[in-house]
Structure 1
Amino acid sequence: MSKVLTSMFLASFIVLLTGCDSEEKYQNTNVITTVEKYRNAITAIENQYWNQAVLVLNKLPEDYEDVSVLNAYANARLHYSMYDENNNYKSNADALVALESIPTNYEGEFASSINDFKNEVIEMEFNYLKNKLVKFVRNGNESMEEVNEIKEQLSLYVSNEEKEIIDIYSEIFIKKLNTESAIHKLEKIPKEYNGILQKEIEAMRKIFARQQEAIEKTINLSEQKKYEEAWKTIGKINWLFNDPEFKALLSYNIAMDYKVRGDKKKAIEEIMEIPDDYNGVFVDKITKFKELNKSEISEVKSEERRTERLVEKWEAMKEPSIGMSASDVKSSRWGKPMRVNKTTIKYGVREQWVYSGNRYLYLEDGFVTAIQE
């Protein structure tokens, strides 16, 4: 009996030991699996397999080792790679968002790589916004609201002094400042400026300096009554904006050149191209010319108004169409016919209206039934 009890006790003890050993092995297996997964994620990051790294890290607890940091880094890299392939701005923004979630005091294995990458993404974002700003303001048809939105995003990366220069650059393009006003604005920017818009500002200074030089030379030639040379001087400049001073100087000197050549009508037509509200360098000369030729200018304006009315009347006229009455045809663009061939039959009257250019209208009882062109 005692042998049986002893055997049962030993069997139970062995089962207990085996069970404990199995549980310990199971627990150790879980720990090893997590470690292996983590090492797999590290290997994927080292080999720049960002998609694989994200998939593995998403299966690990966020509070395990550096999982949360590496997941953010791998996600940022994944978004950034999408930006490179598709030139997708949103992906770059997402990369920045992911990087911002990484603590600034992180000093782990990939601290240096993450810091370098963050600087690279910021530079990419900065250049994108800068180029977008330049493109927008150069187009000249963007609203200040859109430009201000880009400037607000850029303000995260630039100093207050840089913001002021961005404002000056934007204002010149958006408001299309004339040469004098633009030069005055550019004088507020230090000559030694070497910021983000250095190339753009230098180019702008050269353009407006060239325009100002052309204006001064044109004025000098005009004062010497060298009108042809004057308008050719200013006419060959590729103006950044439609500067009213440019237009006035060009038209005035062309008008004076026509006058010298004895073509007063063309001189008047050219001087009329200058707006009545012009108030620039030659305002007195232009006003005097207009006063001396008031009656001729009035006659030209009347002729222009008559022409405008005729054009409006023509545009309001309709082309002949089936079903149109005879009276409406005469008021149409075809007008009255050169001649009418008329045939009277039992059931009514048929007419053939003949027009120049082998055009014909056929009417029955006063209404168009056919058109031949």
Structure 2
Amino acid sequence: MNKKFKIIFLSSVSLIVLLIAGLFYVGNLNGKSTKETFALGTHDKDKEELINLLVAKDYEKALSKSSKQDTDFKRDIYLISGAFLKQEEIDNEDESLISKIHDYKDLVSDIEVVKNVPKEVQSNVDALYENAKANLQYLVNKSDAVQSNLKGVPEVGMSKSEVLSTTWGNPIDINTTKTASSNKEQWVYSGYKYVYFEDGVVTTIQE
């Protein structure tokens, strides 16, 4: 009887220990699940806010809130917002042909590196991309047509369009300086050649 009782007692103790361990494990599991769920919910709210900003076409705010680019999603939102703002800039500013070509190249390049476009703005992004590619091709063709009719070299007193029609053609880069009294530009050409404009008129030529 004593031996049988001892066996029963040990079995009961083992069962209680297992039961306590199981409850402790379940408690920890529940705690971990709650924490992960809370974190996921917060992350989803951030995504939802950024998507809503794009839908509302509040691109400046979307750009600001995604500027850290600490996730792939935020990086995509940053690029998409920047592309729409770039299009607005092109539409609202009176840029030279070469400047527009550079801007459209940047816009197309930014959209092409986006990994995932939110479905809520997919059609808008697709339209922006296709429009930018078409405009870029049109401007490149226009630039090529201008290049085919080049003549002479830049001279002091010429306008921008007149410089573009010379054998120097389009610059490889443009540096702009705006002051309260004037707008100055430096057009950079290969071979260390430069043309300087003030208020749209050539003031200096450097070769």
TM-score normalised according to structure 1 size: 0.29
Greater Cα radius of gyration, structure 1 or 2: 1
Structure with larger RCO (C-alpha < 8 A, sep 6+) = 2
Which protein is richer in strand relative to its size?
2
